[in-house]
């Protein structure tokens, strides 16, 4: 069972459709109690980082923290990936999960158009089962104005104005800045890889 967290800020319908297309048994979590028995978790996200405050208010943050601690695989998408970090300058008073210690910051606006919207290339930075069967240089679909820095946990980068983390992973905790549910064959392959590495 794949448990997709609904906190009224995600691209929920498209993510559910993509996972079901891949044959996954999918449930939607709106209460933290649902995550107590989750076998893998997906956190989508579109829009403002401040929306993640609902995760704190609902108790979802602690439930996700406990799930990760007991080894439940996790995939954050777009804002869901950014939430894995300490926080974002988009909402300075709203903390992230803090699984990764760095801050998410906005693209500088004096070079290219911001936000970064459209197809761009993934350049692999490390081997990962999440990217198995995908070639470095293939394209994924992005739409965002804030981005995570390149760190030791970065498994793929993309360049827009400057390199940023397109995907990150530590153990079974993964994040992708792009939208795999909108990234055609490449995105579906990455979602399938997550399902296979997590045996959901």
CATH number assigned to the domain comprising residue 139: 3.40.50.880
Q: What backbone torsions phi and psi does residue 77 show, to the nearest 5 degrees?
A: -115, 125
Taking only the tens place, the pLDDT of each residue in 74-130 is 999 999 999 999 999 999 999 999 999 999 999 998 778 999 999 999 999 999 999
* Catalytically annotated residues: 78, 179, 181
pLDDT per position as a tens digit, 61-74: 999 999 999 999 99
User: pLDDT tens for residues 130-181?
Assistant: 999 999 999 999 999 999 999 999 999 999 999 999 999 999 999 999 999 9
Given a contact cutoff of 8 angstroms between Cβ atoms, the answer to whether 20 and 179 are in contact is no
Q: How many domains does the chain have?
A: 1
Q: What angle do CA 192, 193, 194 make, to 5 degrees?
A: 90
Torsion of CA 135, 139, 144, 146, to 10 degrees: 40
pLDDT value at residue 198: 77
Beta strands in 116-170 (DSSP E): 116-121, 123-124, 139-144, 146-147, 154-160, 162-170
The whole-number pLDDT of residue 200 equals 67
Cα distance between the two ends of the chain: 5
Tell me how many degrees the CA angle 24-29-35 measures, rounded to the nearest 5.
90
Range of the domain at 67: 2-198
């Amino acid at each position: 069972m794949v448990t997709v967290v609904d906190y009224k800020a995600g691209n929920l319908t498209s993510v559910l459709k993509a996972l079901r297309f891949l044959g996954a048994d999918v449930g939607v979590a709106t209460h933290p109690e649902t995550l107590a028995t989750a076998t893998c978790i997906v956190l989508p996200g579109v829009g403002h980082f401040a929306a993640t405050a609902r995760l704190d208010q609902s108790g979802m943050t602690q439930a996700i923290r406990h799930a990760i601690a007991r080894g439940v695989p996790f995939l954050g998408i777009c804002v869901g990936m950014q939430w894995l970090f300490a926080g974002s300058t988009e909402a300075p008073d709203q903390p992230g999960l803090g699984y990764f210690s760095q801050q998410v910051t906005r693209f500088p606006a004096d070079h290219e158009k911001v936000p970064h919207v459209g197809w761009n290339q993934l350049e692999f930075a490390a081997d990962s089962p999440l990217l198995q069967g995908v070639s470095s240089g293939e394209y994924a679909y992005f739409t965002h104005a804030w981005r995570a820095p390149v760190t030791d946990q970065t498994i793929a980068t993309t360049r827009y104005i400057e390199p940023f983390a397109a995907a990150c992973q530590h153990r079974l905790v993964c994040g992708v800045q792009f939208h795999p549910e909108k990234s055609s064959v490449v995105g579906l392959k990455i979602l399938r890889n997550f399902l296979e590495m997590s045996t959901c």
